[in-house]
């Protein structure tokens, strides 16, 4: 009797596909284009911005102290496989300046110090069309003293997807919007149009193409 029970248990074990290292078939089959997710919320994105700000060597804009006459806009391409890049536009009592932060390259290789990549922060010349035209363009796209763009409802992500992050602060008001390059929303396209425009105005490479 005992031998019979042992034989039954062994037979059940052998017939189980998981015991033989076989995976169960998926419950549903979906294509890669169905792999969409809700975008990170404002609160979820804040620690990401704090991290990449520290990485490139600038103060976290959320905690920076600005007066009501000071505005800072940051355009980030980050959170993918490439190193973060950041264009910074600062307006202080009507005076505008621009900076660009990017990883330092020497001989086609990234420069490291103590195991970490080194970043450069360079001052930029005035935009080709002039500051008044650039600021008017930003305002037309929903970027004035704050960012008035809605997040996508869903995002389609892929392995090396980067985010375009627009971050702005005027006085104590901090606003943000972010999109991946698969965006099809009107506001997402506006954000990438802004990024492409800034590339041309300042002769930069941020990888802003949709």
Q: Write the pLDDT tens digit of every residue in 156-177.
A: 767 677 899 999 999 999 999 9
pLDDT 10s digits, 93-110: 989 999 999 999 999 999
Q: Is residue 23 part of a domain?
A: no
Is residue 4 situated within a structural domain?
A: no
Q: Could you write out the DSSP letters of every residue in 159-207?
A: TT--EEEEEEEETTEEEEEEEETT--SHHHHHHHHHHHHHHHHHT----
Q: Tell me, yes or no, whether 49 lies in a domain.
A: no
Residue 105 within a domain? no
Span 193-202, average pLDDT: 97
The pTM score is 0.81
Q: Is residue 141 part of a domain?
A: yes
Higher per-residue pLDDT: 153 or 210 = 153
Termini Cα distance of the chain: 71
Is 20 inside any structural domain? no
Q: Closest Cα partner for 97 from 121, 128, 131?
A: 131
**How many domains does the chain divide into?**
1
Which residue range(s) make up the domain with 69?
55-97+127-202
């Amino acid at each position: 009797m005992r031998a019979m029970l042992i034989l039954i248990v062994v037979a059940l074990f052998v017939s189980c596909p998981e015991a033989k290292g076989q995976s169960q078939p998926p419950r549903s089959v979906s294509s890669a284009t169905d792999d969409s997710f809700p975008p990170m919320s404002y609160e979820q994105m804040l620690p990401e911005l704090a991290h990449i700000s520290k990485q490139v060597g600038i103060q976290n804009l959320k905690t920076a102290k600005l007066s009501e006459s000071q505005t800072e806009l940051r355009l980030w391409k980050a959170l993918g496989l490439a190193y973060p890049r950041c264009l910074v536009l600062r307006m202080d009592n009507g005076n505008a300046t621009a900076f660009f932060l990017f990883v330092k390259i020497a001989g086609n290789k990234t420069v490291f110090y103590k195991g970490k990549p080194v970043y450069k922060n360079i001052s930029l010349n005035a935009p080709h069309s002039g500051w008044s035209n650039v600021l008017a363009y930003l305002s037309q796209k929903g970027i004035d003293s704050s960012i008035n763009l809605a997040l996508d409802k869903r995002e389609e992500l892929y392995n090396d997807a980067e985010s375009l992050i627009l971050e702005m602060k005027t006085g104590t008001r901090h606003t943000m919007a972010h999109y991946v390059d698969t965006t099809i929303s009107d506001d997402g396209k506006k954000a990438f149009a802004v990024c492409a425009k800034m590339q041309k105005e300042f002769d930069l490479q941020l990888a802003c193409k949709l």
